[in-house]
Chain A
Amino acid sequence: MAHVAATHHDVHEAIHHAEELSFWRTYVFSLDHKVIGLQYLITSLLFLFVGFMLMMLMRWQLAYPGQPIPIIGNWLGEMNAPGGIMLPEFYNQLGAMHGTIMVFLGVVPLAVGAFGNYIVPLQIGAPDMAFPKLNMASYWTYLVGGMTMLSSFFMPGGAANSGWTSYAPLSVIATTGQTVWLIAMVFLITSSLLGSVNFIVTIVQLRAKGMTFMRLPFFVWAQLVTAFLLLLAFPPLEAAAVMQLMDRLAGTSFFMPSGLVVAGQILDVSGGGSPLLWQHLFWFLAHPEVYVLILPAMGIIAEILANNTRKPIWGYKSLVYAAIFLGFMSFIVWAHHMFLTGMGTVISAFFQTTTMIISIPSVIILTAFFISLWGASMRFNTQMLFALAFLPMFGIGGLTGLPLGLAPTDIHLHDTYYVIGHFHYVVAPGTIFALFAGVYHWYPKVTGRKMSESLGKIHFWGSLVCMNGIFMPMFIQGLAGVSRRLYDGGQQYAHAQEVLQWNEFMSIAAWLLAIFQLPFIINFFLSLKRGRKVESDNPWEATTLEWATPTPPPHGNFVHPIEVYRGPYEYSVPNHPTDFTPQHVPEPAKA
């Protein structure tokens, strides 16, 4: 590995050139994908933190409905929580904003904007993204969108409160915060579109010599499919957001049916619109969006499994074709979110069929990962623990999706806590575990130091136990029929009484989960200065190209153009002196 690493002089040259730029151009308005990736990282982690805080407030109300929230209750204001007791209106705001912030401001910007931006150009051997200025623009548009979204809390009537799904007609007659939500979504969607163009062109055009498509790390394939999903699925939601804004601000009736009565008054609109139209346009995006949430995570898992099992991932081709097929199918399953809207049997059969079919590629991917463990020489560092846990956790999430995808069972489970349990399993101990794993894995490349393994293990075990504590009982509650988005957690309903006891248990698990993130936060910051310095540019002895750069990679990444000679997971090749063969090392001529 040593020979291709640039000489000290070359690295110094590269860094020196970068140092000619001002502080603002280097750290704030940078065109370097690595700086932009880190900007996305910091911003998205902060938003994740905010979304998490909102959830913890909600969980107090669910555990102890009508009880004043200790200490924090006094800061929430009379409009939201008079006497510290959360009003239903405020609960609804928290619910809508928790979902919106976690999905659009937290997880996707972290998975795609942070990890994607930083790692993809490195892993394909490129000096940067194809359009650096566009990259910078997409970050700043994201930040403006995110700040706009948060500002909705300060609108009269508070933040958006019609769910992250913003269903008409409720969202059209909702308070001002909803308008701000829509405007923020337009910014966020624009940011996403700019980014997705950048990712696709980068991956297609800027691969280094010898980096064929079938030699790409699975992480890059996952980001490529994700970029196509974002590119083609988001625009209908942008159109829908504009239409909902028109309904709210210009008095149109795109989504407002005729004859609507609100609080005893007939609504003064032209009518003739369709609330279902909103649902179609929303879910046309929102279903592919969930694959946007999971694919980059699966990509990270592949990298970490290969590296810590010291074996190639089993079934690389199957993984690639499964990911492509998954992406394609994701566009034609959306109405499984609409089974209870008065759907006819023909169209219902169609969407049930496509939904069942789409479970196949997910199973292929998960199976390939499981098989990859067989015969492994396993290394149990923190990232590997998270990656291993991902497998059964995503399995639970995926399997619990099946009764939701079949209409007869969905009739009973739709809009209950079962759904919340299902999607949180895939996103929380699923995607977020993969993202944690990614942080532990790539931290040494970015900072030159390793994070503490002891703190990492506390973070891992605590998070695993607590997440299961929060989300497993949700299946029980959902099966009993407890609806979602109830501000009192089901207290008023006879059918909920037997399962209400779980609320307190789940809330305590949630607050404990928060405490177990402290080792992570401390670890993250402390290791910057006190972490063990890495002895080489490739401390995990990995095969992919990002480990072939200096640490941290300089402006332009590869001081000399790099060439690729083999696939991404050449670990434990028989008769090879080392148990890994990096992609960029030419093999010496055979004697």
Chain B
Amino acid sequence: MQIPYTVHARPDTGLFNAKLGVWLFLASEVMLFGALFSSYVLLRTGAPSWPHGFEMLNIPLATLNTVVLITSSITMVMAWASLKMHDFAKYKRYIGATVGLGFFFLIIKAFEYGAKFSAGTYPSESTFLAIYFTLTGLHGLHVVGGMIVNGYFWGPGSKMWHTEPERFTNRIEVAGLYWHFVDLVWIFLFPVLYLL
């Protein structure tokens, strides 16, 4: 017996297995980042003083990063849409763009971190910096993870399009859900850390 509903949806739930799986995973990620946001709130409200984001961090650079990530989200969903329209060449361009934009995000981040470290500003210096580095660091690790997955689907993983196109399209949808979530976290992270 084969495992059912790996490609086609189960009628009563309307879902294929991996889609339910990834949403459950994202729910757990909400709790993970939620714990860090909760820690941020507790530490900030319990502190006698707390610096403003704009005093400590590079807002123009982070704004650029926000634009980069949002753009990568639309290229990601367009990659999936291209597959639904059976346009493999377009898919390749869009998923490639997504990976490229992710890379760009990380480079900007590396620049930000580098500037901090070379000025001798480390996480150990204050709770603001501690939570800033931890939140953005964990988010950055999630970006790296997403890029590895998307890179695989741009490269060797894309072979599946030729043998099992529907299953492959589902995989891109699932990878997209994860990638959008990474964007979503940044959408909250950016104002909370940088602008408040």
Contacts and interface: CB of A to CB of B under 8 A. Distances in A.
Given A231-B24, A270-B124, A242 B39 contact: no
A236 interface: yes
A201 B27 contact: no
Identify which of A243, A272, A284 gathers the most chain B CB atoms within 10 Å of its CB.
A272
> For the side of the interface on A, what is the size category?
35 or more
Q: Counting chain A CB atoms within 10 Å of each CB, which of B4, B127, B133 scores highest? A: B127
B124 A250 contact: yes
B125 to A, nearest CB: 6
Interface in B32-70: 32-36, 38-39, 42-43, 46-47
Contacts of A269: 124
A272 B1 contact: no
B38 to A, nearest CB: 8
A193 B28 CA distance: 8
Contacts of A301: none
A270 B127 contact: yes
A561 B5 contact: no
Contacts of A556: 1
> What is the size category of the interface that chain B forms with chain A?
35 or more
A431 B189 CA distance: 42
Interface string A273-290: 110010011001000000
A246 B130 contact: yes
A204 B35 contact: no
B187 interface: no
B126 A270 contact: yes
A235 B35 contact: yes
Contact of A197 (B25, B130, B138): B25
Contacts of B20: 200-201, 204-205
A556 B2 CA distance: 7
A180 interface: no
Given A235-B35, A269-B124, A127 B134 contact: no
Contacts of A196: 24, 28
A187 interface: no
Interface stretch (A161-169, A251-259, A306-314): A251-259
Contacts of A236: 31-32, 34-35, 38
A558 interface: yes
B3 interface: yes
A438 B21 CA distance: 29
B43 A131 contact: no
Interface string B13-24: 101011011001
B125 A270 contact: yes
A127 B42 contact: no
A254 B129 CA distance: 10
A457 B124 CA distance: 59
B122 interface: yes
Interface in A302-332: none
Given A233-B31, A236-B32, A236-B38, 7 more contacts: A130-B3, A130-B17, A193-B28, A232-B28, A246-B130, A252-B134, A273-B130
7 contacts: A204-B13, A243-B39, A250-B124, A251-B124, A273-B130, A280-B38, A560-B1
Interface of A: 126-128, 130-132, 193, 196-198, 200-201, 204-206, 231-236, 238-240, 242-243, 246, 250-254, 269-270, 272-274, 277, 280-281, 284, 556-561
Closest 5 CB pairs of A and B: A251-B124, A236-B35, A235-B32, A252-B130, A127-B1
